[in-house]
Structure 1
Amino acid sequence: MTSHGPFPRHLPDSTADPEAIARNDWEAFAEIEYLRDHWSVKQWSPGRTGYYWYLTFDDPDLVGFAAERRRGLGLTGLDAVPPDGLHITIRGVGDTTAVPDEHVDALVSSARERLSDVKPFDLTIGPLAGSRSAIRFSVAPWDPLLDVHRVLSACSGEVSPDPAARDVPGSPSRFRPHLGIAYNNTDRAAAAVIAAVAAQRTPERISVRVDTVELVVLRREGRCYRWDTRAAIALGG
């Protein structure tokens, strides 16, 4: 995330319609004039680890789809998300040094109870688009993702006595679901990248099932994000 606020800036006309979501993502990406170096924009101090709520994906069809689209770009200056690194970020919780273990345990317990009322759902992944510093897929529909986000935000509010600790990036008004496949690693004009992404916007989509939400301990290894799972919570209890 950059200091310029959420991307796209505006919400799609519909958070249920895949075409409206894809159109909104693409129109915002196509208007970018310059791409930023993700690793400079997204500051991450050495040794830092943080708690995040993730949806993670290892579906072979999705892994292959992402790899094919990334290869098709034919671009330098991109750091690929590894095959076992595909994810959708739902919400940050806080640095591991700032969130006591007892709060983490309480958060997981609250989330397990609340997510038992959320049924598993399917997502459509694609087409390809991008942001100010990454290449990513549109995902749809947003509605179940927004529901999960609201539940997890409520859990944080319930557990943390410190309002500042609850005020992390990812409020409902800022949440823009997406699935990244590569990070831009140099500041550059955007036109050639946008053209390459446009050529990979095929009609093909991949459907994936979401039945688990994970609380992960996220770290940065070089120009890559890696994580360990702290808790995996099944939807629908």
Structure 2
Amino acid sequence: MSPYPVRMSNHWWWRPGVRPGRRLLVWHILLRDQPHARELVRHCQDRLADVPGLDLVPADWLHMTTQIVGFADEIGKTEVDAMLDAATGRLTDLVPIEVELGKPWFHSEAVMLGIRPPRALDPIRVAIREAVAESVRVHQLDDEPEWTPHVSVAYSHAEGPAAPVLDAFAPPPAPRELRVEEVHLVEQVRVGRLYRWEDHVAVPLGA
């Protein structure tokens, strides 16, 4: 996600295997109970409100993707239950983690906010990946071995210059606190130009 993009491009192309109505099992950190983080996102979206070609992420669907597991139609209930048991056992050994959300990240397809310290949430990601690897046969762990934790503020749906997006973040916004106390397993589907999901379960840290 560096250097900064010169032009924006359409985020909403169909990734391999994804099609209308097909659902993914995904582990997310959600912002539902994070008022400071949600306020920061609103502030950033206000800056972007007049920039054409962007889809601002609605407050109810703000998230930090932690791990894509795989397609729901390829993973049976027995495997899901085993993954949940394995993840719960690992996540209970962790304690809630506080980070600073607000470092602007720019991609040709999206505007995002990163965290500081940048690797602070890695123990959560490692615990989930280990649980997936030992429980799920058809998974997508190899598709994204590296992780840059971020919250997407907006997705691009058009070609165009990136300068208006970059200019909107000068000066950069003041960071806000993000306290991660739980991780959600969700069943996600793309509906038009929006990611939506149904919750499976929330797994707390340090329970």
Tell me the TM-score normalised to structure 1 length: 0.80
Moved over 4 A (4+): none
Query: 1:91-133 CA distances to partner (integer Å, 9 max, x unpaired)?
Result: 1100100111110000001100111111101111113332120
Q: 1:159 aligns with which of 135, 142, 154?
A: 135
Number of equivalences: 204
- Unaligned regions of 5+ residues in structure 2, if any? none
CA-based RMSD of the aligned residues comes to: 1.7
Q: 1:201 aligns with which of 158, 172, 175?
A: 172
State whether structure 2 residue 22 is matched by structure 1 residue 52. Answer: no
- Using a 3 Å threshold, how does the CA distance of structure 1 residues 35 and 234 change in structure 2: closer, same or farther? same
Contact 1:29–1:194 at 8 Å: present in 2 too?
Answer: no
C-alpha distance in 2 between matches for 1:139 and 1:132: 19
Q: Paired residue for 1:118?
A: 94
Contact 2:9–2:160 at 8 Å: present in 1 too?
Answer: yes
**1:207, distance to aligned residue in structure 2 (A):** 0.2
Query: Which structure shows the bigger proportion of residues in helix conformation?
Result: 1
Q: Paired residue for 2:77?
A: 101
Q: Paired residue for 1:67?
A: 42
- Using a 3 Å threshold, how does the CA distance of structure 1 residues 102 and 154 change in structure 2: closer, same or farther? same
C-alpha distance in 1 between matches for 2:113 and 2:189: 22
C-alpha distance in 2 between matches for 1:42 and 1:81: 19
Query: 1:41-75 CA distances to partner (integer Å, 9 max, x unpaired)?
Result: 65641111110010001222222221121111230
User: Which letter maps to 1:229?
Assistant: D
C-alpha distance in 1 between matches for 2:93 and 2:196: 29
- Using a 3 Å threshold, how does the CA distance of structure 1 residues 166 and 190 change in structure 2: closer, same or farther? closer
Q: Paired residue for 2:12?
A: 39
C-alpha distance in 1 between matches for 2:120 and 2:163: 33
C-alpha distance in 1 between matches for 2:175 and 2:99: 10
**1:29, distance to aligned residue in structure 2 (A):** 4.5
Quick one: percent identity of the two aligned structures?
A: 27
C-alpha distance in 2 between matches for 1:102 and 1:226: 24
Secondary structure, counterpart of 2:139 in structure 1 = helix
User: Which letter maps to 1:209?
Assistant: R
User: Which letter maps to 2:172?
Assistant: R
Contact 1:29–1:132 at 8 Å: present in 2 too?
Answer: no
C-alpha distance in 2 between matches for 1:94 and 1:181: 24
Contact 2:183–2:204 at 8 Å: present in 1 too?
Answer: yes
Higher mean alpha-carbon deviation, 83-92 vs 37-46, is at 37-46
C-alpha distance in 2 between matches for 1:223 and 1:193: 19
Query: Which structure shows the bigger proportion of residues in strand conformation?
Result: 2
Q: Paired residue for 2:112?
A: 136
- Using a 3 Å threshold, how does the CA distance of structure 1 residues 166 and 63 change in structure 2: closer, same or farther? closer
Q: Paired residue for 1:179?
A: 151
- Using a 3 Å threshold, how does the CA distance of structure 1 residues 221 and 200 change in structure 2: closer, same or farther? farther
